[in-house]
Amino acid sequence: MFEVIPAVDIRGGKCVRLYQGRADREKVYFENPVEVALKWCELGASRLHVVDLDGAFEGVPKNIGIVEEIVKSVAVPVQFGGGVRTLKALERLFDVGVDRVVVGTVAVENPELFEEMVSLYPGKIVLGIDAKGGMVTTRGWVEVTALPAVELAGKWQESPIWGFVYTDISRDGTLTSPNFEEVGRFASSVSKPVIASGGVTRVEDLERLSKIENVVGAIVGRALYEGTVDLREALKRVSGGA
């Protein structure tokens, strides 16, 4: 089943969205992230994607208390990302009940640590690949590397990661539609499942993503908050739910 996964991005304790991941292009949607997490679950979400933006920029999760409150408040699995660059942070997140953790920067900058994370929590680590023009970015999308996304994915393909979250950051938060060609190219290069992220604007975008082989879900943020995607309708059309 193709999953439509609402994003709950936390910065300064509030639910926000950034434009193309830029810290200076922020819009606050909810003062209380727990409130919006409950809203998406009531509308039928089967999973949430919670991001600690402060953690992504600073390199250590800053909003774990809010994440724990979300986990305790909802009845669906919570996937987390944002600044997980130590074993201590990873352990803390699993202790508070997070289902899967998305890790990106460590896989590029400290592959030995990433390998240890994956071996300690097989099937629970998602490799987050944030790309711009097909090249990997790190540290909250601030650093653009010379490493092709497909090359990074291939390096970890045989490890016991759950799969991948592939984000085209040039489309994220822009309401311009996903980069379907790039998503398809990436998904066809790996055998583990891929969750697409970035640019979803209409339900039709989700329908098109759901038809790409190996893409098992999509993270939706601004489109839900701005109302260009109705979650119930999206679930009916691409997930057979709600």
Reduced to 3 states (helix: H, G, I; strand: E, B; else coil), residue 187 is helix
pLDDT of residue 57: 80
CATH of the domain at 118: 3.20.20.70
Mean pLDDT of the chain: 91
The pair phi, psi for residue 54, each rounded to 5°, is -60, -40
pLDDT in tens, 30-87: 889 999 999 999 999 999 999 998 888 888 888 999 999 999 999 999 999 998 999 9
Q: Is 130 a catalytic residue?
A: yes
Number of domains, the chain = 1
Instruction: Give the strand pairing for 14-19 and 3-11.
Output: antiparallel
Distance in angstroms (rounded) separating the CA atoms of residues 236 and 117: 36
Q: How buried is residue 232: exposed, middle or buried, by Cβ count under 10 Å (0-12/13-18/19+)? A: exposed
Which residue is catalytic, options 52, 54, 130, 205? 130
Give dist(CA 82, CA 76) in Å, integer: 20
Cβ–Cβ contacts within 10 Å for residue 121, how many? 20
Share of the chain above pLDDT 90, in %: 73
95 is catalytic: no
Whether the per-residue pLDDT at 16 is higher than 90: the answer is no
Question: HSE of 34 in the Cβ direction (CA atoms, 13 Å)?
Answer: 12
Asked if residue 26 has pLDDT above 90, the reply is: no
Q: What is the pLDDT of residues 160-180, one digit of tens each?
A: 999 999 998 876 555 678 999
Structural domain containing residue 214: 3-239
Q: Which pLDDT score, from 0 to 100, does residue 25 have?
A: 66
